[in-house]
Structures are given as structure tokens and as C-alpha cells.
Amino acid sequence: MRLLIASNNKHKVREIKEILSKYYTDIMSLKDAGIDIDVVEDGTTFMENALKKAHEVLQASNFDAVLADDSGLMVDALDGAPGVYSARFAGEGHDDDANNAKLIEVMKDVDDDKRTCRFVTVAVIARKGKKDITATGYVEGKLLREKRGENGFGYDPLFYYEPFGKTFAEMNEQEKNSVSHRKNALEGVRKALEEEEK
């Protein structure tokens, strides 16, 4: 069974291989498979975006299954924003720095005890002739008032994870992967595949 990952993110691909290699003999990124496809993520939820991406890439490939995910940051004081708009919070064409700067600005008057937030990942495996597998992973945190740390990407420098006493951007890759929202979602996918084998 071959699994195509609807991504070219090397860290993501490595993490997926570590967790799902028992169930798929061949796991490849889009680049590995020579597929160039850009799916427009216009859904209003992480689930809609992940499902759309998985199914469009499955139709464009000759793989048995495609794994896609959609992730973002949900801030309670902003009613769940930036959510599905996490990558373009500061507007189309803006980068992580601009998104972080906007988040710091809109949250500047919010008290410390109301700065709860979570990273969310929805992972989907679309398969030919079988029903989809879906799983959602979360990790809870607090939003800082200024960036800390040089690692990671996105909102990692503002996302403070209390059990480790540091932001995601202050963690090394192993620390972050051990608790990340993506890992939690992928573990959910792994459990669903395990159940099917019983």
C-alpha cells in the first residue's frame, strides 16, 4: 500500500513516516512523486480544507491513499480566530512575522488569564474504494505578548506550552514533536488504521 502525503514539508513527511510506516510500504511527498498540484483551501473549517486537499490530490495521483492535513491557531479571546485563516491572518502575501505582529497587536489589551489558545490539526486519509479516515489533534497553550525562541515557524514564538515552560519556538524538534497537535492527529489516524486491522 502506497501513501502520498499532500505536502513537501520535510519535517512533516518525516514525522508521518515515523508514525504510519507500519501501515504503508511506500510513503512519499508530492515532490518525491513528481506531482505539482496547488489545492485552493477555501473551506470554513480545518476539516473541509483537509478533506478537499486529500480528495483532489487522490484524483490527480495513482496512489492508493493520500494524507492531507490542515492546521492553525485558535485564540479563545478572538472567538477561535485566526483559525483557518492562520497563514493569511495579516492578509494575502504576508509572512509569519506580519501574522505574529498582527496577533500581538489585536491581543495587546487582553488580560494574561484570558490568553488561552490551542493549535489544531485535522488529518485526513482519502482512499480509493474505502471510507476516509479523519482525526483531530490539539495542544493547549497561552499566547505571549512578545515572541520568544528561534525555532519552529508560524505562531510558534508566541505559543507558550506550560508543561515544558517554554514556547514552541524554544523547543527542539524532538520536544515539539512529542506533544504537537500534528502528532496527536496522526496518532488518531494510526489508531483508526489499527482498528481496521483487527
Active-site residue numbers? 70
CA angle 86, 124, 74 (to 5 degrees): 25
Task: Give residues with Cβ within 8 angstroms of 188, minimum separation 6.
Answer: 123, 135, 136, 137
Q: What type of residue sits at position 15?
A: E
The answer to whether 49 and 6 are in contact (CB under 8 A) is no
User: What's the chain's length in residues?
Assistant: 198
CA distances to 81, 138, 141, 161 from 117, rounded to whole Å, are: 10, 10, 5, 10
Give CB contacts under 8 A, 24+ apart, made by 82-86. Answer: 83/46, 84/41, 84/43, 84/44, 84/45, 84/46, 84/49, 86/154, 86/155
Q: What are phi and psi of 71, to 5 degrees?
A: -135, 160
CA separation for the pair 24, 32 (Å, rounded): 16
